[in-house]
């Protein structure tokens, strides 16, 4: 089954997300920055279920920049951008991402996932 990719710098949020998706039966790959997530995704040779990224993270790639790179490589992949400090920005125009303010629940994320075989 294709993995859910989580790019989140807050360890407690990252662990909670991983546990939520794993409990639902999905394999999860977690990363502490957009740079780490992109390094994995740029060389990953397979399908991805979903990318969930925080808006603001350390490193060169914040969530918006990561979303742009992911969208170019995986045009149909669901991308969720989440933050407790989310604001509208022109950088999201035409990007086709789901903006999900924190806090959220698995019930809000579940519809974005493909049915399990």
Flag whether 117 is in a domain.
Answer: no
Residue 49: both structure tokens together: 């279920």
pTM for this model (two decimals)? 0.87
CATH number, domain of 20, equals: 3.40.50.2300
Which residue from 81, 77, 92, 19 is spatially nearest to 44, judged by alpha carbons?
77
pLDDT digit string, tens, across residues 41-80: 999 999 999 999 998 888 999 998 999 999 999 998 999 9
Domain extent, residue 49, equals: 4-112
DSSP E strands: which ranges in 1-117?
Answer: 4-7, 28-31, 50-54, 79-83, 98-101
Split into its structural domains, the chain has a count of 1
Count of other CB atoms within 10 angstroms of residue 35: 18
pLDDT digit string, tens, across residues 2-16: 999 999 999 999 998
Burial class (CB in 10 A: 0-12, 13-18, 19+), 55: buried
């Amino acid at each position: 089954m294709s993995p859910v990719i989580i790019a989140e710098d807050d360890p407690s949020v990252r662990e909670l997300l991983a546990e939520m998706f794993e409990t639902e039966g999905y394999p999860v790959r977690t990363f502490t920055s957009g740079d780490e997530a992109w390094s994995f995704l740029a060389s990953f040779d397979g399908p991805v279920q979903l990318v969930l990224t925080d808006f603001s993270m350390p490193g060169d790639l914040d969530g918006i920049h990561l979303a742009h790179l992911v969208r170019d490589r995986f045009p149909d992949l669901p991308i969720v951008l989440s933050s407790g400090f989310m604001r509208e920005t022109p950088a999201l125009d035409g990007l086709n991402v789901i903006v999900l303010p924190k806090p959220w629940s698995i019930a809000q994320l579940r519809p974005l996932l493909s049915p399990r075989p």
